Amino acid sequence: MHENSVRKRSWQSHLVHLLVRARMRPHALKPIDPQWVRENMGRPRGVRRLMARATGATLRPLSPGHLWPGGEVVSSPLASESTPVVLYLHGGGFIACSPETHRPLVSSLAQRLTAKIYVPVYRLAPEHPFPAALDDALAAYRFIVEHENIDPSRLLFAGDSAGGGLVLSLTMKLRQKGLPLPRAIVTFSPWADLATTGASLDENSDSCAMFAGITIRNAARFYVGNSESHDPLLSPLYGDFKDFPPLLIHAATDEVLRDDSIRVAERAHAAGVPVTFRMWRGVPHVWQFFAAVLPEARESLEDVTKFVRKHLD
């Protein structure tokens, strides 16, 4: 397992950290209104659309059907029948966000990997608690493999935050059902412990640009519902990582979800999984969104590119 941190922050990271903090922290200690979060996450939308278009990636809406729950496909113009295929599960605390909010990040990945990326919608809590999101993720996987005829040896899983935890849960579900696993997994700051036991929830409650520890604890209740929060399919941190494909985890040292990443990396490594783990200092949660302006984001995505090429080759 490999871990290190960027020694010197870029001036851009200072600016992005301040902007994200000004946008997000005023709401961190307030009660969570899922509808308000859905309406406001991803704004300003025009900026995100410009960031996505700047990558040169193409977008194709994909209507529900043949198991597919709805969503879109983002592709590099150079993608071919032999390039990587990615199932990307977006973050948003299981209560918000969508393929649209995550286009800048997904488009950057598609361009760098020369890939075709499927980004499904999935049902959100609290209207649809566990296992609704996992069921929709499984349906999306089956659509890609069974209807789109993608060989799992070409398929990667990727996700950020709640979506990062969800790809780990999905992998455990596939193994449980005896279905083929993806070739590799990429996670950005995965939320893998819905029991919310990580020490960083308190240690980084002030330093995190986006959330306080109480934000995560409050959000968890929406998706957990009446389920047991230590269920490995809900909180993959408590699952068995044996026979998992190679796993890449990137996280920030200052975020409240830091310890979810650290503990997943440790458990996967102990189970014999090839783990590439790296942390960055002074960047916000899922800073990869800001690849257009943030050197640390580009560095993270370059690492992902090397990881994918290594394991697909």
Catalytic positions: 161, 255, 285
Which run of H or of E encompasses 264?
helix 258-270
3-state class (DSSP) for residue 26: helix
Chain centroid to CA 65: 24
Task: Say how many C-beta atoms besides its own lie within 10 A of residue 57's C-beta.
Answer: 24
Sign of CA dihedral 156, 160, 163, 166: positive
Q: How would DSSP label each residue in 83-124?
A: S-EEEEE--STTTS--TTTTHHHHHHHHHHHT-EEEEE----
Look at the chain and count its residues: 313
Amino acid at 296: E
Q: How far is CA 75 from CA 103, 111, 241, in A?
A: 11, 7, 30
